[in-house]
A and B are shown apart, each in its own frame.
Chain A
Protein backbone atom coordinates (compact mmCIF):
# COMPACT_ATOMS: atom_id res chain seq x y z
CA UNK A 1 0.00 0.00 0.00
CA UNK A 2 2.93 2.29 0.66
CA UNK A 3 3.91 2.70 -2.99
CA UNK A 4 0.70 4.16 -4.35
CA UNK A 5 0.41 7.51 -2.55
CA UNK A 6 2.31 9.79 -4.99
CA UNK A 7 -0.37 9.28 -7.56
CA UNK A 8 -3.26 9.30 -5.15
CA UNK A 9 -2.04 12.47 -3.53
CA UNK A 10 -2.07 14.27 -6.83
CA UNK A 11 -5.54 12.94 -7.42
CA UNK A 12 -6.71 14.09 -4.04
CA UNK A 13 -5.18 17.53 -4.63
CA UNK A 14 -7.10 17.71 -7.85
CA UNK A 15 -10.17 16.64 -5.95
CA UNK A 16 -9.55 19.36 -3.38
CA UNK A 17 -9.27 21.99 -6.09
CA UNK A 18 -12.44 20.63 -7.59
CA UNK A 19 -14.12 20.89 -4.23
CA UNK A 20 -13.11 24.53 -3.89
CA UNK A 21 -14.61 25.14 -7.31
CA UNK A 22 -17.80 23.44 -6.18
CA UNK A 23 -17.96 25.65 -3.12
CA UNK A 24 -17.57 28.82 -5.18
CA UNK A 25 -20.23 27.58 -7.57
CA UNK A 26 -22.46 26.60 -4.68
CA UNK A 27 -22.27 30.05 -3.12
CA UNK A 28 -23.29 31.53 -6.48
CA UNK A 29 -26.28 29.23 -6.80
CA UNK A 30 -27.44 29.39 -3.20
CA UNK A 31 -30.50 31.46 -2.27
CA UNK A 32 -29.30 35.03 -2.52
CA UNK A 33 -31.04 36.28 0.60
CA UNK A 34 -29.26 33.66 2.69
CA UNK A 35 -25.86 34.40 1.17
CA UNK A 36 -26.27 38.15 1.57
CA UNK A 37 -27.41 37.91 5.21
CA UNK A 38 -24.82 35.35 6.26
CA UNK A 39 -22.00 36.99 4.33
CA UNK A 40 -22.96 40.41 5.67
CA UNK A 41 -23.11 39.21 9.26
CA UNK A 42 -19.77 37.46 8.89
CA UNK A 43 -18.15 40.65 7.61
CA UNK A 44 -19.74 42.60 10.45
CA UNK A 45 -18.47 40.07 12.97
CA UNK A 46 -14.93 40.02 11.57
CA UNK A 47 -14.58 43.78 11.22
CA UNK A 48 -16.58 44.67 14.35
CA UNK A 49 -13.64 46.71 15.68
CA UNK A 50 -13.77 49.03 12.67
CA UNK A 51 -17.52 49.19 12.15
CA UNK A 52 -18.83 49.64 15.68
CA UNK A 53 -19.17 53.34 16.49
CA UNK A 54 -18.62 52.87 20.24
CA UNK A 55 -17.05 50.52 22.77
CA UNK A 56 -19.74 47.88 23.40
CA UNK A 57 -18.90 47.49 27.10
CA UNK A 58 -18.65 51.15 28.14
CA UNK A 59 -21.30 53.88 28.46
CA UNK A 60 -21.29 56.34 25.59
CA UNK A 61 -19.91 59.78 26.55
CA UNK A 62 -22.62 62.38 26.42
CA UNK A 63 -25.49 59.94 26.00
CA UNK A 64 -27.98 59.08 28.71
CA UNK A 65 -29.39 55.72 29.72
CA UNK A 66 -32.35 54.38 27.73
CA UNK A 67 -31.93 56.84 24.87
CA UNK A 68 -34.37 55.79 22.12
CA UNK A 69 -33.35 55.17 18.46
CA UNK A 70 -32.49 58.25 16.43
CA UNK A 71 -35.86 58.67 14.69
CA UNK A 72 -37.73 58.97 17.97
CA UNK A 73 -37.96 62.01 20.16
CA UNK A 74 -34.92 62.24 22.39
CA UNK A 75 -32.84 60.00 20.13
CA UNK A 76 -29.57 61.14 18.60
CA UNK A 77 -27.53 60.24 15.55
CA UNK A 78 -24.44 59.25 17.54
CA UNK A 79 -26.34 56.35 19.06
CA UNK A 80 -28.43 55.20 16.10
CA UNK A 81 -30.34 52.42 17.81
CA UNK A 82 -30.44 53.94 21.27
CA UNK A 83 -28.68 53.07 24.50
CA UNK A 84 -29.29 50.47 27.20
CA UNK A 85 -29.63 50.63 30.99
CA UNK A 86 -25.94 51.51 31.38
CA UNK A 87 -25.92 54.02 28.56
CA UNK A 88 -24.09 51.64 26.22
CA UNK A 89 -24.65 51.89 22.47
CA UNK A 90 -27.13 49.24 21.32
CA UNK A 91 -25.86 49.19 17.73
CA UNK A 92 -22.27 48.57 18.82
CA UNK A 93 -23.39 45.81 21.12
CA UNK A 94 -25.39 44.20 18.31
CA UNK A 95 -22.35 44.36 16.03
CA UNK A 96 -20.08 42.68 18.56
CA UNK A 97 -22.89 40.27 19.43
CA UNK A 98 -22.78 38.92 15.88
CA UNK A 99 -19.30 37.69 16.71
CA UNK A 100 -20.48 35.68 19.71
CA UNK A 101 -23.43 34.16 17.85
CA UNK A 102 -21.39 33.21 14.80
CA UNK A 103 -18.42 31.83 16.77
CA UNK A 104 -20.62 29.80 19.09
CA UNK A 105 -22.91 28.69 16.26
CA UNK A 106 -20.10 27.54 13.99
CA UNK A 107 -17.75 26.14 16.65
CA UNK A 108 -20.58 24.43 18.53
CA UNK A 109 -21.76 22.82 15.31
CA UNK A 110 -18.21 21.78 14.49
CA UNK A 111 -17.77 20.13 17.90
CA UNK A 112 -21.18 18.42 17.67
CA UNK A 113 -20.51 17.32 14.10
CA UNK A 114 -17.03 16.08 14.97
CA UNK A 115 -18.15 14.01 17.94
CA UNK A 116 -21.29 12.80 16.19
CA UNK A 117 -19.64 11.84 12.93
CA UNK A 118 -16.83 10.01 14.74
CA UNK A 119 -19.30 8.18 16.98
CA UNK A 120 -21.56 7.32 14.06
CA UNK A 121 -18.70 5.92 12.00
CA UNK A 122 -17.26 3.91 14.88
CA UNK A 123 -20.68 2.64 15.86
CA UNK A 124 -21.64 1.64 12.35
CA UNK A 125 -18.31 0.30 11.15
CA UNK A 126 -17.03 -1.51 14.24
CA UNK A 127 -20.44 -2.83 15.25
CA UNK A 128 -20.94 -5.37 18.02
CA UNK A 129 -20.89 -4.21 21.64
CA UNK A 130 -19.20 -0.92 20.73
CA UNK A 131 -22.22 -0.15 18.57
CA UNK A 132 -24.56 -1.18 21.39
CA UNK A 133 -22.85 1.10 23.91
CA UNK A 134 -22.73 4.13 21.62
CA UNK A 135 -26.35 3.71 20.57
CA UNK A 136 -27.59 3.32 24.14
CA UNK A 137 -25.71 6.48 25.14
CA UNK A 138 -27.29 8.23 22.15
CA UNK A 139 -30.72 7.09 23.33
CA UNK A 140 -30.03 8.37 26.82
CA UNK A 141 -28.90 11.74 25.46
CA UNK A 142 -32.00 12.01 23.29
CA UNK A 143 -34.25 11.24 26.24
CA UNK A 144 -33.80 14.79 27.51
CA UNK A 145 -34.97 17.84 25.59
CA UNK A 146 -31.70 19.26 24.25
CA UNK A 147 -32.30 22.66 25.80
CA UNK A 148 -32.96 21.21 29.26
CA UNK A 149 -29.79 19.15 29.01
CA UNK A 150 -27.83 22.21 27.89
CA UNK A 151 -29.22 24.39 30.69
CA UNK A 152 -28.40 21.67 33.19
CA UNK A 153 -24.80 21.25 31.97
CA UNK A 154 -24.21 24.99 31.64
CA UNK A 155 -25.50 25.62 35.15
CA UNK A 156 -23.21 22.95 36.52
CA UNK A 157 -20.07 23.89 34.58
CA UNK A 158 -20.32 27.66 34.86
CA UNK A 159 -20.64 30.45 32.31
CA UNK A 160 -18.07 31.21 29.63
CA UNK A 161 -18.20 31.28 25.86
CA UNK A 162 -15.87 28.32 25.41
CA UNK A 163 -17.75 26.23 27.96
CA UNK A 164 -20.94 26.92 26.03
CA UNK A 165 -19.34 25.74 22.79
CA UNK A 166 -18.24 22.47 24.37
CA UNK A 167 -21.59 21.98 26.11
CA UNK A 168 -23.65 22.60 22.98
CA UNK A 169 -21.34 20.24 21.08
CA UNK A 170 -21.80 17.64 23.78
CA UNK A 171 -25.58 17.99 23.61
CA UNK A 172 -26.21 18.13 19.86
CA UNK A 173 -23.91 15.34 18.58
CA UNK A 174 -26.54 12.60 18.87
CA UNK A 175 -28.46 13.37 15.70
CA UNK A 176 -25.28 13.08 13.64
CA UNK A 177 -24.37 9.82 15.32
CA UNK A 178 -27.72 8.23 14.47
CA UNK A 179 -27.92 9.35 10.86
CA UNK A 180 -24.25 8.70 10.06
CA UNK A 181 -24.38 5.27 11.66
CA UNK A 182 -27.28 4.38 9.39
CA UNK A 183 -25.30 5.45 6.34
CA UNK A 184 -22.20 3.56 7.44
CA UNK A 185 -24.22 0.37 7.92
CA UNK A 186 -25.06 0.37 4.21
CA UNK A 187 -21.64 1.63 3.12
CA UNK A 188 -20.01 -1.21 5.03
CA UNK A 189 -21.69 -3.72 2.73
CA UNK A 190 -20.69 -1.96 -0.48
CA UNK A 191 -18.15 -3.58 -2.75
CA UNK A 192 -15.41 -0.95 -2.65
CA UNK A 193 -15.28 -1.24 1.11
CA UNK A 194 -15.22 -5.04 1.00
CA UNK A 195 -12.45 -4.97 -1.62
CA UNK A 196 -10.35 -2.56 0.42
CA UNK A 197 -10.69 -4.86 3.40
CA UNK A 198 -9.69 -7.91 1.33
CA UNK A 199 -6.72 -5.99 -0.03
CA UNK A 200 -5.56 -5.74 3.57
CA UNK A 201 -6.33 -2.13 4.36
CA UNK A 202 -6.49 -1.47 8.07
CA UNK A 203 -9.79 -0.43 9.64
CA UNK A 204 -8.47 3.05 10.21
CA UNK A 205 -7.49 3.34 6.56
CA UNK A 206 -10.85 2.09 5.34
CA UNK A 207 -12.58 4.63 7.55
CA UNK A 208 -10.33 7.46 6.39
CA UNK A 209 -10.28 6.74 2.67
CA UNK A 210 -13.62 5.10 2.01
CA UNK A 211 -16.16 5.71 4.76
CA UNK A 212 -15.49 9.29 5.80
CA UNK A 213 -15.54 10.82 2.29
CA UNK A 214 -18.87 9.13 1.66
CA UNK A 215 -20.62 10.48 4.75
CA UNK A 216 -19.30 14.03 4.41
CA UNK A 217 -22.27 15.20 2.35
CA UNK A 218 -24.70 14.05 5.00
CA UNK A 219 -22.59 15.58 7.75
CA UNK A 220 -22.47 18.89 5.89
CA UNK A 221 -26.23 19.00 5.43
CA UNK A 222 -26.81 18.17 9.10
CA UNK A 223 -24.30 20.83 10.10
CA UNK A 224 -26.00 23.51 8.02
CA UNK A 225 -29.28 22.71 9.74
CA UNK A 226 -27.69 22.60 13.21
CA UNK A 227 -26.06 26.04 13.15
CA UNK A 228 -29.37 27.85 13.66
CA UNK A 229 -30.42 25.53 16.46
CA UNK A 230 -27.10 26.07 18.22
CA UNK A 231 -27.35 29.85 17.84
CA UNK A 232 -30.82 29.87 19.43
CA UNK A 233 -29.59 27.56 22.18
CA UNK A 234 -26.69 29.89 22.96
CA UNK A 235 -29.06 32.87 23.10
CA UNK A 236 -31.37 30.92 25.41
CA UNK A 237 -28.55 29.99 27.77
CA UNK A 238 -27.23 33.56 27.82
CA UNK A 239 -30.76 34.80 28.42
CA UNK A 240 -31.08 32.54 31.47
CA UNK A 241 -27.74 33.74 32.81
CA UNK A 242 -25.89 30.46 32.31
CA UNK A 243 -24.37 31.32 28.93
CA UNK A 244 -22.00 34.05 27.86
CA UNK A 245 -21.29 36.14 30.97
CA UNK A 246 -21.71 39.94 31.08
CA UNK A 247 -20.40 42.45 30.12
CA UNK A 248 -19.71 40.58 26.88
CA UNK A 249 -22.19 41.69 24.21
CA UNK A 250 -24.22 38.60 23.29
CA UNK A 251 -27.71 38.92 21.81
CA UNK A 252 -29.27 36.55 24.34
CA UNK A 253 -27.67 38.49 27.16
CA UNK A 254 -28.96 41.78 25.77
CA UNK A 255 -32.50 40.35 25.77
CA UNK A 256 -32.01 39.24 29.35
CA UNK A 257 -30.85 42.71 30.41
CA UNK A 258 -33.79 44.28 28.58
CA UNK A 259 -36.29 42.13 30.41
CA UNK A 260 -36.30 44.05 33.67
CA UNK A 261 -37.31 47.25 31.88
CA UNK A 262 -39.59 45.71 29.28
CA UNK A 263 -42.67 46.95 31.12
CA UNK A 264 -41.41 50.52 30.86
CA UNK A 265 -41.78 50.29 27.08
CA UNK A 266 -38.11 50.47 26.02
CA UNK A 267 -38.93 48.24 23.09
CA UNK A 268 -35.71 48.78 21.14
CA UNK A 269 -33.73 46.84 23.73
CA UNK A 270 -35.91 43.77 23.13
CA UNK A 271 -36.81 44.04 19.46
CA UNK A 272 -33.38 44.57 17.86
CA UNK A 273 -31.34 41.73 19.40
CA UNK A 274 -34.15 39.23 18.83
CA UNK A 275 -34.53 40.38 15.26
CA UNK A 276 -30.81 39.77 14.72
CA UNK A 277 -31.17 36.21 16.01
CA UNK A 278 -34.20 35.70 13.76
CA UNK A 279 -32.30 37.00 10.75
CA UNK A 280 -29.23 34.83 11.20
CA UNK A 281 -31.22 31.67 11.95
CA UNK A 282 -33.55 32.29 9.02
CA UNK A 283 -30.55 32.64 6.73
CA UNK A 284 -28.93 29.43 7.95
CA UNK A 285 -32.25 27.59 7.56
CA UNK A 286 -32.70 28.80 3.99
CA UNK A 287 -29.14 27.87 3.18
CA UNK A 288 -29.49 24.48 4.88
CA UNK A 289 -32.73 23.66 3.08
CA UNK A 290 -31.14 24.47 -0.23
CA UNK A 291 -28.03 22.45 0.58
CA UNK A 292 -30.14 19.49 1.64
CA UNK A 293 -32.01 19.32 -1.63
CA UNK A 294 -28.81 19.82 -3.56
CA UNK A 295 -26.45 17.45 -1.80
CA UNK A 296 -28.67 14.69 -0.57
CA UNK A 297 -32.24 14.25 -1.70
CA UNK A 298 -32.64 11.32 0.65
CA UNK A 299 -32.40 13.64 3.62
CA UNK A 300 -35.49 15.62 2.65
CA UNK A 301 -37.40 14.39 5.64
CA UNK A 302 -34.88 15.50 8.24
Chain B
Protein backbone atom coordinates (compact mmCIF):
# COMPACT_ATOMS: atom_id res chain seq x y z
CA UNK B 1 0.00 0.00 0.00
CA UNK B 2 2.90 2.36 0.74
CA UNK B 3 4.23 1.47 -2.70
CA UNK B 4 0.86 2.42 -4.17
CA UNK B 5 0.92 5.82 -2.45
CA UNK B 6 4.34 6.59 -3.95
CA UNK B 7 3.21 5.32 -7.36
CA UNK B 8 0.15 7.56 -7.11
CA UNK B 9 2.25 10.65 -6.40
CA UNK B 10 4.63 10.06 -9.30
CA UNK B 11 2.01 8.88 -11.77
CA UNK B 12 -0.31 11.79 -11.18
CA UNK B 13 2.52 14.30 -11.10
CA UNK B 14 3.90 13.25 -14.48
CA UNK B 15 0.81 12.13 -16.38
CA UNK B 16 2.06 8.57 -16.81
CA UNK B 17 0.45 5.37 -15.61
CA UNK B 18 3.62 3.59 -14.63
CA UNK B 19 2.39 0.14 -15.58
CA UNK B 20 5.88 -0.71 -16.77
CA UNK B 21 7.13 -0.39 -13.19
CA UNK B 22 3.98 -1.57 -11.39
CA UNK B 23 3.56 -4.83 -13.28
CA UNK B 24 7.03 -6.32 -12.66
CA UNK B 25 6.92 -5.09 -9.06
CA UNK B 26 3.57 -6.72 -8.33
CA UNK B 27 4.54 -9.98 -9.95
CA UNK B 28 8.11 -10.20 -8.61
CA UNK B 29 7.88 -8.57 -5.17
CA UNK B 30 4.30 -9.52 -4.28
CA UNK B 31 4.00 -12.75 -6.21
CA UNK B 32 0.92 -11.79 -8.21
CA UNK B 33 0.26 -13.82 -11.37
CA UNK B 34 1.16 -11.72 -14.42
CA UNK B 35 -2.43 -11.16 -15.64
CA UNK B 36 -3.53 -10.18 -12.14
CA UNK B 37 -0.53 -7.82 -11.94
CA UNK B 38 -1.55 -6.19 -15.22
CA UNK B 39 -5.19 -5.90 -14.12
CA UNK B 40 -4.13 -4.32 -10.81
CA UNK B 41 -1.84 -1.88 -12.56
CA UNK B 42 -4.67 -0.84 -14.90
CA UNK B 43 -6.96 -0.20 -11.91
CA UNK B 44 -4.17 1.95 -10.46
CA UNK B 45 -4.00 3.99 -13.66
CA UNK B 46 -7.75 4.66 -13.46
CA UNK B 47 -7.50 5.68 -9.82
CA UNK B 48 -4.55 7.96 -10.62
CA UNK B 49 -6.38 9.58 -13.49
CA UNK B 50 -9.75 10.07 -11.76
CA UNK B 51 -8.25 11.52 -8.59
CA UNK B 52 -5.72 13.72 -10.37
CA UNK B 53 -8.32 15.11 -12.76
CA UNK B 54 -10.34 16.54 -9.87
CA UNK B 55 -7.38 18.88 -9.36
CA UNK B 56 -6.22 19.34 -12.96
CA UNK B 57 -9.70 19.91 -14.39
CA UNK B 58 -10.70 22.45 -11.77
CA UNK B 59 -7.53 24.41 -12.51
CA UNK B 60 -8.21 24.35 -16.23
CA UNK B 61 -4.92 22.61 -16.94
CA UNK B 62 -6.48 19.72 -18.82
CA UNK B 63 -7.21 20.50 -22.46
CA UNK B 64 -10.39 18.42 -22.71
CA UNK B 65 -10.89 18.93 -26.43
CA UNK B 66 -7.32 18.06 -27.29
CA UNK B 67 -7.50 15.04 -24.99
CA UNK B 68 -10.65 13.72 -26.63
CA UNK B 69 -9.29 14.29 -30.12
CA UNK B 70 -6.05 12.40 -29.45
CA UNK B 71 -7.97 9.75 -27.53
CA UNK B 72 -9.77 8.78 -30.76
CA UNK B 73 -6.37 8.04 -32.31
CA UNK B 74 -5.11 6.25 -29.22
CA UNK B 75 -8.19 4.02 -28.95
CA UNK B 76 -8.15 3.07 -32.61
CA UNK B 77 -4.41 2.44 -32.43
CA UNK B 78 -4.83 0.25 -29.37
CA UNK B 79 -7.54 -1.83 -31.00
CA UNK B 80 -5.26 -2.34 -33.99
CA UNK B 81 -2.49 -3.50 -31.64
CA UNK B 82 -3.50 -7.09 -32.21
CA UNK B 83 -2.80 -6.72 -35.91
CA UNK B 84 0.69 -5.38 -35.29
CA UNK B 85 1.39 -8.24 -32.89
CA UNK B 86 1.21 -10.66 -35.79
CA UNK B 87 3.58 -8.59 -37.91
CA UNK B 88 6.38 -7.71 -35.50
CA UNK B 89 8.19 -9.75 -32.87
CA UNK B 90 7.41 -8.53 -29.36
CA UNK B 91 11.07 -8.39 -28.33
CA UNK B 92 12.07 -6.27 -31.30
CA UNK B 93 9.25 -3.94 -30.42
CA UNK B 94 10.37 -3.69 -26.80
CA UNK B 95 13.88 -2.70 -27.80
CA UNK B 96 12.56 -0.13 -30.29
CA UNK B 97 10.30 1.19 -27.55
CA UNK B 98 13.27 1.56 -25.18
CA UNK B 99 15.29 3.31 -27.89
CA UNK B 100 12.48 5.79 -28.56
CA UNK B 101 12.15 6.53 -24.83
CA UNK B 102 15.86 7.32 -24.59
CA UNK B 103 15.65 9.48 -27.71
CA UNK B 104 12.68 11.40 -26.29
CA UNK B 105 14.47 11.96 -22.97
CA UNK B 106 17.51 13.24 -24.88
CA UNK B 107 15.36 15.60 -26.96
CA UNK B 108 13.68 16.97 -23.85
CA UNK B 109 17.04 17.43 -22.21
CA UNK B 110 18.47 19.24 -25.23
CA UNK B 111 15.55 21.64 -25.29
CA UNK B 112 16.31 22.45 -21.65
CA UNK B 113 13.13 24.30 -20.73
CA UNK B 114 9.47 24.23 -21.57
CA UNK B 115 8.16 25.17 -25.03
CA UNK B 116 7.23 28.82 -25.42
CA UNK B 117 3.44 29.03 -25.60
CA UNK B 118 2.26 30.37 -28.95
CA UNK B 119 -1.30 31.29 -29.86
CA UNK B 120 -2.19 29.35 -32.98
CA UNK B 121 -5.97 29.62 -33.08
CA UNK B 122 -6.32 25.84 -32.80
CA UNK B 123 -7.59 24.20 -29.59
CA UNK B 124 -6.52 27.19 -27.54
CA UNK B 125 -6.61 27.03 -23.79
CA UNK B 126 -5.45 28.99 -20.80
CA UNK B 127 -4.50 28.12 -17.24
CA UNK B 128 -2.92 29.81 -14.26
CA UNK B 129 0.56 28.58 -13.45
CA UNK B 130 1.50 29.39 -9.83
CA UNK B 131 5.16 28.56 -10.51
CA UNK B 132 5.50 31.45 -12.97
CA UNK B 133 2.80 33.53 -11.32
CA UNK B 134 0.69 34.33 -14.37
CA UNK B 135 -1.78 32.85 -16.82
CA UNK B 136 -0.39 30.73 -19.64
CA UNK B 137 -2.25 30.95 -22.92
CA UNK B 138 -1.37 28.57 -25.68
CA UNK B 139 -2.58 27.05 -28.92
CA UNK B 140 -1.86 23.69 -30.46
CA UNK B 141 0.42 23.17 -33.47
CA UNK B 142 0.72 20.25 -35.87
CA UNK B 143 -2.56 18.71 -34.76
CA UNK B 144 -2.54 16.26 -37.68
CA UNK B 145 0.96 14.98 -37.04
CA UNK B 146 0.13 14.63 -33.34
CA UNK B 147 -2.97 12.64 -34.26
CA UNK B 148 -1.02 10.26 -36.49
CA UNK B 149 1.70 9.75 -33.88
CA UNK B 150 -0.97 9.08 -31.24
CA UNK B 151 -2.26 6.31 -33.49
CA UNK B 152 1.21 4.79 -33.40
CA UNK B 153 1.61 5.31 -29.65
CA UNK B 154 -1.80 3.75 -28.99
CA UNK B 155 -0.88 0.84 -31.19
CA UNK B 156 2.36 0.12 -29.36
CA UNK B 157 0.84 0.54 -25.93
CA UNK B 158 -2.10 -1.65 -26.88
CA UNK B 159 0.42 -4.25 -27.90
CA UNK B 160 2.79 -4.10 -24.95
CA UNK B 161 0.14 -3.05 -22.45
CA UNK B 162 2.29 -0.16 -21.29
CA UNK B 163 3.71 3.18 -22.29
CA UNK B 164 0.71 5.40 -22.95
CA UNK B 165 1.66 8.47 -20.95
CA UNK B 166 5.38 8.25 -21.59
CA UNK B 167 4.68 8.98 -25.27
CA UNK B 168 1.63 11.24 -24.97
CA UNK B 169 3.35 13.88 -22.86
CA UNK B 170 6.35 14.32 -25.24
CA UNK B 171 4.14 14.22 -28.35
CA UNK B 172 1.98 17.03 -27.00
CA UNK B 173 4.87 18.97 -25.51
CA UNK B 174 7.69 18.69 -28.05
CA UNK B 175 5.65 18.42 -31.25
CA UNK B 176 2.35 20.12 -30.65
CA UNK B 177 3.65 23.01 -28.55
CA UNK B 178 1.48 22.28 -25.53
CA UNK B 179 3.13 23.58 -22.31
CA UNK B 180 4.55 20.77 -20.19
CA UNK B 181 2.02 21.04 -17.36
CA UNK B 182 -0.98 21.08 -19.69
CA UNK B 183 0.51 18.09 -21.53
CA UNK B 184 0.81 16.20 -18.23
CA UNK B 185 -2.78 17.01 -17.23
CA UNK B 186 -4.16 16.08 -20.65
CA UNK B 187 -2.18 12.84 -20.79
CA UNK B 188 -3.50 12.02 -17.32
CA UNK B 189 -7.07 12.40 -18.62
CA UNK B 190 -6.40 10.15 -21.60
CA UNK B 191 -4.65 7.28 -19.81
CA UNK B 192 -7.66 6.96 -17.50
CA UNK B 193 -10.01 6.50 -20.44
CA UNK B 194 -7.81 3.92 -22.14
CA UNK B 195 -7.25 2.07 -18.86
CA UNK B 196 -10.97 1.92 -18.05
CA UNK B 197 -11.61 0.08 -21.30
CA UNK B 198 -8.85 -2.41 -20.54
CA UNK B 199 -9.96 -2.85 -16.93
CA UNK B 200 -13.55 -3.64 -17.94
CA UNK B 201 -12.23 -6.43 -20.15
CA UNK B 202 -9.96 -7.81 -17.42
CA UNK B 203 -12.84 -7.70 -14.95
CA UNK B 204 -15.09 -9.64 -17.30
CA UNK B 205 -12.42 -12.30 -17.73
CA UNK B 206 -12.00 -12.65 -13.97
CA UNK B 207 -8.39 -11.46 -13.65
CA UNK B 208 -9.28 -8.79 -11.13
CA UNK B 209 -8.14 -9.77 -7.63
CA UNK B 210 -9.43 -7.60 -4.75
CA UNK B 211 -6.55 -8.89 -2.62
CA UNK B 212 -4.19 -6.73 -4.74
CA UNK B 213 -6.52 -4.29 -6.46
CA UNK B 214 -8.33 -2.82 -3.44
CA UNK B 215 -5.29 -1.88 -1.31
CA UNK B 216 -3.48 -0.65 -4.43
CA UNK B 217 -6.42 1.50 -5.55
CA UNK B 218 -6.88 3.02 -2.09
CA UNK B 219 -3.14 3.78 -1.84
CA UNK B 220 -3.09 5.33 -5.29
CA UNK B 221 -6.05 7.55 -4.47
CA UNK B 222 -4.13 8.98 -1.50
CA UNK B 223 -0.96 9.51 -3.56
CA UNK B 224 -2.80 10.97 -6.54
CA UNK B 225 -4.33 13.58 -4.26
CA UNK B 226 -0.85 14.95 -3.64
CA UNK B 227 0.84 14.53 -7.04
CA UNK B 228 -1.14 17.11 -9.02
CA UNK B 229 -0.50 19.76 -6.37
CA UNK B 230 3.21 19.12 -6.78
CA UNK B 231 2.83 19.23 -10.56
CA UNK B 232 1.03 22.56 -10.33
CA UNK B 233 3.55 24.18 -7.96
CA UNK B 234 6.87 22.87 -9.28
CA UNK B 235 8.49 24.68 -12.19
CA UNK B 236 8.17 23.07 -15.60
CA UNK B 237 11.94 22.72 -15.68
CA UNK B 238 12.13 20.59 -12.54
CA UNK B 239 9.15 18.52 -13.68
CA UNK B 240 10.86 18.01 -17.01
CA UNK B 241 14.01 16.67 -15.38
CA UNK B 242 12.01 14.24 -13.21
CA UNK B 243 10.14 13.15 -16.32
CA UNK B 244 13.38 12.47 -18.20
CA UNK B 245 14.70 10.33 -15.36
CA UNK B 246 11.44 8.35 -15.30
CA UNK B 247 11.66 7.84 -19.08
CA UNK B 248 15.15 6.40 -18.69
CA UNK B 249 13.94 4.10 -15.90
CA UNK B 250 11.11 2.95 -18.19
CA UNK B 251 13.58 2.31 -21.00
CA UNK B 252 15.80 0.27 -18.68
CA UNK B 253 12.79 -1.77 -17.50
CA UNK B 254 11.82 -2.39 -21.11
CA UNK B 255 15.28 -3.73 -21.97
CA UNK B 256 15.30 -5.92 -18.85
CA UNK B 257 11.90 -7.45 -19.64
CA UNK B 258 12.92 -7.84 -23.28
CA UNK B 259 16.07 -9.74 -22.32
CA UNK B 260 14.21 -11.80 -19.73
CA UNK B 261 11.88 -13.32 -22.31
Q: Do A and B bind each other?
A: no
